[in-house]
Structure 1
Amino acid sequence: MNHASLVAPRLSLFHRRLSPLEKMGRNERCWCRSGKKFKHCHLVREALEPINVFEQEQRMFAELRNGYCSLPAADPCSSEIIKAHTIQRRGGLAAISDSNHVLTVKPRMRDMIQSSGKPQPRKIGLKDASVFPGFCSKHDSETFKPIEGKTLNFELSSAFLFSYRAISYERYSKEAEGRFNAMMREVADRGQPFRKQAAMQSFLYDVSVGIEMGKRDMERAKGNFDNLFLTGGYDGFHYCGVRFDRVLPIVACCAFHPEFDLSGTRLQQLGQNKVELDTVTLTVTAFEGNTVAIFGWIGPDDGPARSLSDSLLAIASDRQADALIRLLFIHTDNLFLNPTWWDGLPNKHKVALNNMTRSGTTMRERTAAEYSNATLDLFPAEAMEKVAE
């Protein structure tokens, strides 16, 4: 079924763009659209002390530690909001670790600057990998206990829990992106001449438009999952699970709008706001020496999410792991790698995968060729069990 977004008009940013003005009336609303008067905003911005980007990053991290419990239930929360793992620490993360460390593709500010915007994966300890302050300790342990054991059977109930955790993480991440962007719009151009102020504010404003659209979409998707969680039913929820014959060198937990399937066929058109987009969750983790990949979604059984999962199943069983790895590098930074595997990859493969982490950003558009690029031999594994409901 062709998604309605494929024929919807693209959203034009032209009429939304900032119109920077070096001179304004002191009491006029500032051109940066902060809502403040010019005299309290950009009138004196050039005279302010420039920020230290590393100190600002630390302030951002401190701000983002303020979380909340994502569970909608009336059952009272415990007092502590914890660093909840989106991927189980003892199973999935530990299975791919070297000396209790994995690699993360999520860069720090220092990495971005030192690499001229092309950072490499970096080491991170298991206790800090894949965490977010999105649940209280009580609801994190009680809600996800059925999928935290040593074994996993593909069932509708367990697939739903993987999806619920993924959508909760993505909803929080979009909110965090919005908070960070707002902080940067306040301080990033301090001490800069007007020309740089205009360029930086215009870039950050354009980014904020995309963030707000993403927040809206994830809030809607989270609301749909909350409704099913509260009723205890699974009406409209579908999933696809694949179990591999060994542990793949990656784990991940994410939710996204599938733009292309793994043959390169376009499924949805982003950058429009007339049609609701379909969202799919994807969790990749390990149980009993085998990696499992679980797609989940609420919506039509013949829409973009099903087309994406079907396109994985249509690939030869011994190449599905490669396709899955590509898909994760394209769509999420909540992705963790085995250090030995990464170090052993040919340099051209590392370059290709690193480029995929920047797909869908202001640096690089996603392309059909990335999804269907079967020339990258990334990891030998066989898909040995497949379930779709």
Structure 2
Amino acid sequence: MILTKSRIDLFELNPYEPCPCDSGAKFKFCCYKKAKASKPKRIIDLSYSDGRIHNFVKQFWEKTDFHTCFAFNKEECDDLIKSAHSIQNNRILNRISKDGHLYTISSTGTKEGPVSYLNKISRNKASTFFGFCNIHDTELFRPIEKKEYIGESIQNFLFAFRAHAIEHHKKLRKLNSQKNIFIEFPFTMLEKEHIYVYRVAQLDVRDCSVDYKVFKKDYSNANFDNFRTLYRKLDFEVSFAACSSFAVEYDLEGNIMNDIYSVGYEHMPSIYVNVYPTSGGTNILLSYHLNNDGTYKNYFDQLEKLKNEDLLKYLNFLLIQYTENIFFDPSFIENLSEKQKNSLLKSFDSSIYPIEKAILISEGSYYKFNLFEKNMDKSDS
């Protein structure tokens, strides 16, 4: 990326912008002197064991958690903010769990940097976030929690909104994480790489806030027809479930839709993805708001033309490339070969570290797994 005058603020804190410590004061009159006086040091001591580094990173991330309710009619909120499931626990996660557990892809800190691994967790903790109060977690999502999907516009709206909510919450946590680094290590407020991460996090939150306002307006007007939703029903159960929103970089013809690796100033819209097993089948829902026709209309036209076989091949890539909020049946993961597990994790990493993609391709290991392998035990039951 070429640094221009219009982009200089991506790498520097403006003296008169709000201080990242959230004091409300301008940076120049708040933490600037502290940042200048702070002595640079390693944030993570490389003399630590990998286990200690992992615990440090985990605790730092846990400090960013917060409770809120993303529902639109705040006056009706309950005081209790639940650990809400973005993927329904009793009708979806229970179908892919074994002895109350399932797998997800997690990251751990090491001396060499972040490393992805397959993490076995309780399904009661899977896909949870503190994003809705007790009332709204139940009442707002009743049309998709208590009713099978039949393509109603309110259902399409709610599946998209829940995918938005968990990503919005996560983006706010990532912004809080960088703010916490600034506070604990003030010298980082003058370091370009940390300021760049801060700018990316700010823009991610900005994009989510823009999208949230659109959801709120539609909900307030009871206008649920503003989403284009591609729906496919498979005749077998998959061994995973996913719920996420993200901006897609390229369409199926290789045309760029969002320059996701460069930091720009324009809104970068998301698509909303839900894939989950039902009794004897699988539901696939891909959506975008019609406000974003200019970005995604041709892309969805291309997706609509795909036969199921080709769509599944594409989703096998899309889900691992773009989302962390995906959970797997333990039997599926444990039956993968070591080569397939390595391909799954490294392909996931390649979305963050492009050099991994080149390595995997050279090894013939890029996306050498099939998320949509038929679960014969469930399909035949």
Q: TM-score range by the shorter chain?
A: 0.7 to 0.9
Match of 1:81 in 2: 81
2:36 matches 1:36: no
Alpha-carbon offset, residue 98 of structure 1: 1.8
Deviations 1:33-79 (A, max 9, x none): 895143x3452446999787525632541440x21111121542111
TM-score, scaled to structure 1: 0.77
SS at match of 1:87: coil
Contact 1:247–1:286 (Cα < 8 Å) also in 2: yes
RMSD of equivalent CA atoms: 3.6
Match of 1:385 in 2: none
Deviations 1:109-158 (A, max 9, x none): xx231775332121111111101111101011001111113632122211
Deviations 1:246-284 (A, max 9, x none): 121221111111112345443232325354333211112
Alpha-carbon offset, residue 365 of structure 1: 7.9
Contact 1:248–1:381 (Cα < 8 Å) also in 2: yes
Contact 1:312–1:323 (Cα < 8 Å) also in 2: no
Rate the CA distance shift 1:72–1:187 in 2: closer, same or farther, 3 A.
same
Question: Which has the higher mean CA deviation after the structures are superposed, 258-267 or 331-340?
Answer: 258-267
Larger proportion of helix: 2
Counterparts of 1:100 and 1:267 in 2: how far apart (Å)?
40
Question: Which has the higher mean CA deviation after the structures are superposed, 168-177 or 346-355?
Answer: 346-355
Equivalent of 1:280 in 271, 284, 289: 271
1:162-173 aligned at under 5 Å gives the runs 162-173=159-170
Rate the CA distance shift 1:265–1:138 in 2: closer, same or farther, 3 A.
same
Counterparts of 1:34 and 1:156 in 2: how far apart (Å)?
50
1:273-352 aligned at under 5 Å gives the runs 273-300=264-291, 302-352=293-343
Alpha-carbon offset, residue 97 of structure 1: 1.2
Question: Which has the higher mean CA deviation after the structures are superposed, 68-77 or 147-156?
Answer: 147-156
2:269 matches 1:269: no
Contact 2:89–2:124 (Cα < 8 Å) also in 1: yes
Contact 2:156–2:227 (Cα < 8 Å) also in 1: no
Contact 1:243–1:292 (Cα < 8 Å) also in 2: yes
Contact 1:248–1:291 (Cα < 8 Å) also in 2: yes
Greater relative contact order (CA < 8 Å, ≥ 6 in sequence): 1
Aligned letter for 1:254?
S
Question: Which has the higher mean CA deviation after the structures are superposed, 312-321 or 337-346?
Answer: 312-321
2:203 matches 1:213: yes
Alpha-carbon offset, residue 353 of structure 1: 2.8
Number of residue pairs the alignment of both structures matches: 347
Counterparts of 1:267 and 1:44 in 2: how far apart (Å)?
42
Aligned letter for 1:36?
C
Deviations 1:17-46 (A, max 9, x none): 259xxxxxxxxxxxx9895143x3452446
Match of 1:137 in 2: 134
Contact 1:319–1:381 (Cα < 8 Å) also in 2: no
Counterparts of 2:344 and 2:252 in 1: how far apart (Å)?
15
Counterparts of 2:29 and 2:180 in 1: how far apart (Å)?
11
Where structure 1 has 5 or more consecutive residues not aligned to the other structure, the ranges are 1-8, 20-31, 190-196, 383-389
Could you tell me the percent identity over the aligned residues? Answer: 21
